């Protein structure tokens, strides 16, 4: 068996490593360069082709939700009923406090903001009624009936303000 001296072994190892590195760094040939050019755009002999149909719109991945109906929770509904009774007895301050409690339970319920806005109009505070109406309108997306009530509240508040 032939024994290689250490310098030859080192050289052989270096060449082997270099060959492996070169083989790993080779990239696949660019296939785009090998493609033939696209055919010329022009009329082809033969009968005319039918006109292309318009592609259909892709279906959304998530179907659109139907408009959501806004409703009061049981607790808020009870508080609104209580506020209506307080308004009927002329106790607007207690009704305001009751509606504030309902808004602490459901701060994003546009129906409660409309109730509070109507109360503010009854208290002769049209500016606050307008603010409540605009807040209700912002929260009422998806429920046209509630949006209509909120818009009516804003219009009433603006009318009282003379705007």
Any domain includes 136: yes
In the predicted structure, residue 110 carries a pLDDT above the cut 60:
yes
Any domain includes 140: yes
Any domain includes 66: no
Any domain includes 33: no
Indicate which CATH number applies to the domain containing 150: 1.25.40.10
What six digits make up the tokens of 83?
């506020």
Question: At 122, is the pLDDT very low, low, confident or very high (cuts 50, 70, 90)?
Answer: very high
DSSP 43-78: PPSSSPPPPPPPPPPPPPSSPPPPPPPP---HHHHH
Q: How far is Cα 65 from Cα 141, in angstroms, rounded to an integer?
A: 12
What six digits make up the tokens of 41?
């755009």
Q: How far is Cα 56 from Cα 35, in angstroms, rounded to an integer?
A: 31
Any domain includes 113: yes
Q: How many domains does the chain have?
A: 1
> What global pTM score does this model have?
0.59
- The per-residue pLDDT for 143 is 86
Any domain includes 152: yes
Query: What are the tens digits of pLDDT across the range 41-88?
Result: 555 555 665 666 555 655 555 555 555 667 888 999 999 999 999 999
47 conformational bin, left if phi > 0, alpha if psi -120 to 50, beta if neither = beta
Any domain includes 103: yes
- The per-residue pLDDT for 71 is 82
Q: How far is Cα 85 from Cα 91, in angstroms, rounded to an integer?
A: 9
Which domain, by its residues, includes 112? 74-161
Any domain includes 16: no
């Amino acid at each position: 068996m032939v024994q290689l001296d250490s310098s030859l072994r080192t050289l052989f190892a270096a060449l082997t490593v270099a060959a492996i590195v070169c083989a790993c760094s080779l990239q696949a040939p660019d296939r785009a360069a090998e493609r033939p050019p696209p055919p010329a755009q022009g009329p082809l002999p033969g009968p005319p082709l039918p006109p292309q149909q318009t592609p259909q719109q892709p279906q959304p991945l998530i179907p659109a939700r139907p408009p959501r109906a806004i409703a009061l929770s049981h607790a808020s509904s009870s508080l609104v009923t209580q506020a209506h009774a307080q308004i009927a007895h002329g106790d607007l301050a207690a009704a305001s406090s009751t509606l504030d409690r309902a808004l602490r339970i459901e701060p994003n319920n546009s129906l409660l903001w409309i109730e509070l806005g109507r109360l503010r109009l009854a208290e002769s505070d049209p500016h606050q009624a307008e603010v409540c109406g605009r807040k209700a309108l912002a929260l009422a997306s998806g429920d046209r009936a509630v949006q209509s009530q909120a818009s009516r509240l804003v219009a009433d508040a603006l009318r009282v303000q003379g705007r």
